[in-house]
Amino acid sequence: MPLRLEARAEPSRAMVFAAPVIAIAATLCLGGILFAALGFDPFTALAAFFIEPVSTVYGLSELLLKATPLALIGVGLALGFRGNVWNIGAEGQLIIGAVAGGGMALALYDVSGLWVMPCVLAAGVAGGAAYAAVPALLRTRFHANEILTSLMLNYVATLFLGWLVHGPWRSPEGYNFPESRMFTDSALLPLLVEGTRLHVGVLFAPLAAFATWVIVSRSFLGFQIKVIGMTPAAGSFAGFGPRRVIWFTLMFGGGLAGLAGAMEVAGPIGQLVPIVSPGYGYTAIIAAFLGRLHPFGILLSSLLLALIYLGGDAAQIALAVPFAVTQVFQGMVLFFLLAADVLIRYRVRFDAPRSVAS
């Protein structure tokens, strides 16, 4: 093997921060090559993808709008990943959060007041957390793998939402389109900047990141999550309950995903429709890893991934490439990051491995 890994005596602190940068740079390079292969000038194409979408105030507001659900979900998932709880069901938790929030908005259709919108958001949190409680229960009670159960529930949630908007919650004024009524103004999140879709919910992302940072870095609970994630036997020795960690991280992540879902329908969408998320629940997994599972890192990585969403939209229009290029770029970032992460623990050598004389 020409490539050889040599273990470092100590994990490299510098590489912890450098790896995401390397991954992003590599993604840009490969993306440029990809665009060139498709017959575009790579620099104009990359500019159309990564710069033009955010060259206006409206573009920037859209960036924040898309980064918000990613960050909310990402910080929640990252807490679980630290504790070896692999919640892949954020997409479903987001959808159920949207359903619960939307249901609340529809139930309060005839009332108005300042308290309606908080009720909608609270219902979203509760819905997402309740949905995440299913894999938590199945894992703690029956040892069922939460990766698979939470993922299966994503499909179930999508179908459930589909049934609601095709059936009982379909708008009576909607010409048979599969959508609910538009929510009233009381249920909607107030706009932060007029002329954009940016709403006050965007402030929840840094708040959630800060709260998660306190949990991770300062609280004993966060310490327990880390210990159980790194070395389960040491957690057992210390008497930290793995069940508590599973329950807390799943409910926490589910609640934040549910909040994100409620904010989507009570924000930019304004009603329940069959598709309420362009895969935020999956992309947030990438955001979590790219942000080094650190809450503030995830704020930054969410911005980047939101930019890739906007870039995908822009590229679809400007370059006529399919929107799926978004997922290709997102997948590439994660791949390069995982590859670059090896540099934290190892030095890569390209020389011949053996030098033993005999």
Positions 212 through 241 that interact with other proteins (CB under 8 A):
214, 218-221, 223, 226-227, 230-231, 233-234, 236-239, 241
Alpha carbon distance, N-terminus to C-terminus of the chain:
21
* Number of chain positions touching other proteins (CB under 8 A): 77
Pick the binder of other proteins from 24, 120, 151, 314 (CB under 8 A).
151
Site for other proteins in 75-104 (CB under 8 A): 86, 88
Residue 289 in the binding site for other proteins (CB under 8 A): yes
**Which amino acid type is present at position 326?**
T
- Residue 118 or residue 322: which is nearer to other proteins going by CB? 322
Q: Pick the closer one to other proteins by CB: 190 or 353.
A: 353
- The backbone region for 320, taken as left when phi is positive above 0, alpha when psi lies in -120 to 50, beta otherwise, is left
Which residues within the stretch 160-179 sit at the binding site for other proteins (CB under 8 A)? 160, 162-163, 166-167
Shortest spacing between CB 188 and other proteins, in angstroms: 27
107: left (phi over 0), alpha (psi -120 to 50) or beta: alpha
- Which residues in the 255-284 window bind other proteins by CB under 8 A? 282-283
- Write the CB contacts of 105 (distance below 8 Å, at least 6 apart in sequence): 116, 120, 183, 184, 187, 265, 266
327 sits near other proteins (criterion: CB under 8 A): yes
Q: Does 342 bind other proteins (CB under 8 A)?
A: yes
> Which amino acid, one-letter code, is at 55?
S
CA atoms of 78 and 18, how far apart (whole Å): 19
For position 317 contacting other proteins by CB under 8 A, the verdict is no
Applying CB under 8 A, does 133 fall inside the site for other proteins?
no
Closer by beta carbon to other proteins, 107 or else 152: 152
* 14 near other proteins (CB under 8 A): no
- Tell me the CB-side half-sphere exposure of residue 195, using CA atoms within 13 A: 5
Q: Is 18 an interacting residue with respect to other proteins (CB under 8 A)?
A: no
Residue 30 binds to other proteins (criterion: CB under 8 A): no
- The torsion of the CA quartet 256, 258, 263, 269, rounded to 10 degrees, works out to 140
Q: Quote the CA–CA distance of 102 and 264 in Å, as a whole number.
A: 10
Instruction: Tell me the sheet residues that pair with 347.
Output: 6
Evaluate whether 140 touches 247 at the Cβ level (below 8 Å).
Answer: yes
Answer yes or no whether residue 148 interacts with other proteins by CB under 8 A. Answer: yes
**Whole-number minimum distance, CB 3 to other proteins, in Å?**
7
